[in-house]
Amino acid sequence: MRLFAKTCLVILMICIGYANVKAQSSRLELDPGGGASGDLVGFKAVESGNNTTSLQVFRNFTGDANDISFLKFDNQGNIQIDGPKKLFWDPQGAAGSDFVGLKISESGNNTTKFHIYKKFTNTTSDIDLLTIDAGGNTMLYGTSKLYWNPLGGAPGDMYGIKVTESGNNTTKFHLVRNFSDNVEDVNIMTINSSGFIGIGTTTPNQRLTVNGMVYSTEVKVDLSVPGPDYVFEEDYNLPSLESIQGYIKENKHLPEVPSAREMEEKGIDLGVMNMLLLKKVEELTLHLIRQNKINKEQAEEIAELRKLIEKE
């Protein structure tokens, strides 16, 4: 048995490059050849009570018991990474030091952040791709794009969100679709830095700009102009039919109503236009009431004249 143990120890020494191995109770220390005296790394099992056993990878700069833990595995399978708070990968075949990784940063109380980052060389700073702070706030960096390829969808048939910027105060948020990697994104919706939303357009100029047909079962418009019930007030100056006729003859449209060219160029405000049309309907109703009164009076006069003629 002693011979077997020595053989295993020799094999382990060969595997780790003839480093000095010191096996102690519940720990295995590795002292690299040429390393500073007492500058050790190793594995150890720690237990502070029932069901508290953990396996740790540690470092120790001196021969005392002030171990610095790098990695811990508890008896529940939980893993804790300590040390410089970084974990990174250098993909096989990638450029030297062109790696991505995970790290934790902290600059004070309640400032802990989790990072997914990239680093091109050891002489450059880490480039954040994604951060999540202690409050759960998430920040995306990189190419400012995030895509989803639905399960079973055609290759490259993706939906996503992206952010674009062409100068100061020009940031835009886009909902896009992309049919393949070699075509431009098809814009579905855009929100610009002013909070204007565009559907079917990337240049919205109002709170909601839609380039295309809108289907709805109900539309409610809050009025910015008063309802035209003032038309029925006694002191309202009702335009005469003669004046309206003259205006139409000269301008080819009703008074106060925009011309066809103006509506084509500027569009129409639904709230304002509906109130204007209601006003015209109310004015027309007043004219009909007046005309009806005149018609009744004329009918009564005609009836009286007939009676007089019949008597003669």
Q: 182 pLDDT band (50/70/90 cuts)?
A: low
Q: Are 89 and 104 in a shared domain?
A: yes
Q: Are 72 and 13 in a shared domain?
A: yes
User: The tokens of 304 are what?
Assistant: 């009286």
* 220 assigned to some structural domain: no
Identity (one letter) of the amino acid at 264? E
The total of other beta-carbon atoms located within 10 Å of residue 190's CB is 21
Give the separation between CA 285 and CA 226, rounded to whole angstroms.
19
Question: Is 82 in contact with 67 (CB distance < 8 Å)?
Answer: no
Give the separation between CA 72 and CA 80, rounded to whole angstroms.
5
**For range 249-269, the mean pLDDT:** 92
pLDDT for residue 51 is more than 70: yes
Edge-to-edge strand list for the sheet holding 86-89: 86-89, 99-105, 113-119, 127-133, 138-140
Q: 164 pLDDT band (50/70/90 cuts)?
A: confident
Q: Are 31 and 20 in a shared domain?
A: yes
* 56 assigned to some structural domain: yes
Q: Please report which helix (H) or strand (E) contains residue 7, including its range.
A: helix 2-15
Give the separation between CA 79 and CA 69, rounded to whole angstroms.
12
* 221 assigned to some structural domain: no
What residues make up the domain containing 111? 85-142
**pLDDT at residue 3, as a whole number:** 44
* 235 assigned to some structural domain: yes
Which of 89-98, 108-117, 246-255, 272-281 comes out lowest in average pLDDT? Answer: 89-98
Among the candidates 37, 61, 83, a domain finishes at: 83
Burial of 131 (0-12, 13-18, 19+ CB in 10 A): middle
More confident residue, 138 or 32: 138
Q: How many residues does the chain have?
A: 312
C-alpha separations of 67 from 32, 40, 259, 277 in Å: 16, 9, 86, 85
Q: Are 233 and 307 in a shared domain?
A: yes
Q: Are 167 and 197 in a shared domain?
A: yes
Q: Are 93 and 114 in a shared domain?
A: yes
pTM: 0.57
Among the candidates 45, 60, 83, a domain finishes at: 83
Q: Are 102 and 162 in a shared domain?
A: no
pLDDT for residue 19 is more than 60: no
Q: Are 79 and 6 in a shared domain?
A: yes
Q: Are 138 and 166 in a shared domain?
A: no
Question: Is 152 in contact with 162 (CB distance < 8 Å)?
Answer: no
Query: Which of 36, 35, 39, 40 is closest to 57 using CA atoms?
Result: 40
Q: Are 119 and 177 in a shared domain?
A: no
**pLDDT at residue 2, as a whole number:** 47
**pLDDT at residue 65, as a whole number:** 65
**pLDDT at residue 289, as a whole number:** 93
pLDDT for residue 188 is more than 50: yes
The total number of structural domains that make up the chain: 4
**pLDDT at residue 169, as a whole number:** 81
pLDDT digits 0-9 by tens, 74-122: 988 898 887 667 777 877 665 556 788 888 888 888 889 999 988 877 6
* 223 assigned to some structural domain: no
DSSP string over 190-237: EEETT--EEES-S---SSEEE-S----S------SS--GGGGGSTT--
Q: Please report which helix (H) or strand (E) contains residue 23, including its range.
A: strand 20-24
Say what percent of the chain tops pLDDT 70: 81
Among the candidates 116, 142, 168, a domain finishes at: 142
Q: Are 252 and 304 in a shared domain?
A: yes
**pLDDT at residue 276, as a whole number:** 93
Q: 6 pLDDT band (50/70/90 cuts)?
A: very low
* 154 assigned to some structural domain: yes
CA dihedral 59, 61, 65, 67 (to 10 degrees): -30
**pLDDT at residue 10, as a whole number:** 46
Q: Are 6 and 78 in a shared domain?
A: yes
